[in-house]
Amino acid sequence: MARQTVRVTDPTTTASASSLVAGDAPAGMPEPTLAPPQMARTGDPFARLRLLHFLSRLRRNSTHQVRDVTTALNAAFLDWSFSERVVLAELVQLQANWAISFHGDDRIVLDRNERGHTLLIVDSTKMTSFLVAEGRRAQEAAEEELRRFTLGDGISPDN
């Protein structure tokens, strides 16, 4: 995992930051880049972005059990917990977005078998660009939520 640089404040907006901080953290001080674990929620753009990133790498033209996709997703993002219910709800939304964009052309197929819900993503020339566009929308929504949180004194949709 790449180390991130953490700023106490943004020096372009806070002139007094340099007067508050004496210098770098002492040698051996752990970086404060740990994030608390997150429970994925339906409609959460941060969870949606992670799911879309994972789906963009999922093997296409193969039927997958949604529970297996959920397990692999949780293994890929150890600081997040995705339930099968949340994954399925996001997949239904993704399927609807595809149908709207491409007039019902079934390329994201949800079904059931004896083990539960299944997912088939049919490979096509449009699928990768569709997933990238959906990912960008999720990223923009996540960034907007961060802006609202910052400007609203910590108020988020969870409050």
pLDDT band at 56 (very low <50, low <70, confident <90, very high): very high
User: Would you call 89 helix, strand, or coil by DSSP?
Assistant: helix
Residue 24 lies in a domain: no
Residue 66 lies in a domain: yes
Q: What angle do CA 57, 58, 59 make, to 5 degrees?
A: 115
Residue 25 lies in a domain: no
**Which is higher by pLDDT, 82 or 103?**
82
CATH (domain of 104):
1.10.10
Residue 155 lies in a domain: no
User: Would you call 55 helix, strand, or coil by DSSP?
Assistant: helix
pLDDT averaged over every residue in the chain? 87
- Residue 67 near residue 116 (C-beta atoms within 8 A): yes
Residue 4 lies in a domain: no
Residue 125 lies in a domain: yes
Residue 90 belongs to domain spanning? 37-149
How many structural domains compose the chain? Answer: 1
User: Would you call 37 helix, strand, or coil by DSSP?
Assistant: coil
Which helix (H) or strand (E) covers residue 154, if one does? Answer: none
pTM of the predicted protein model: 0.78
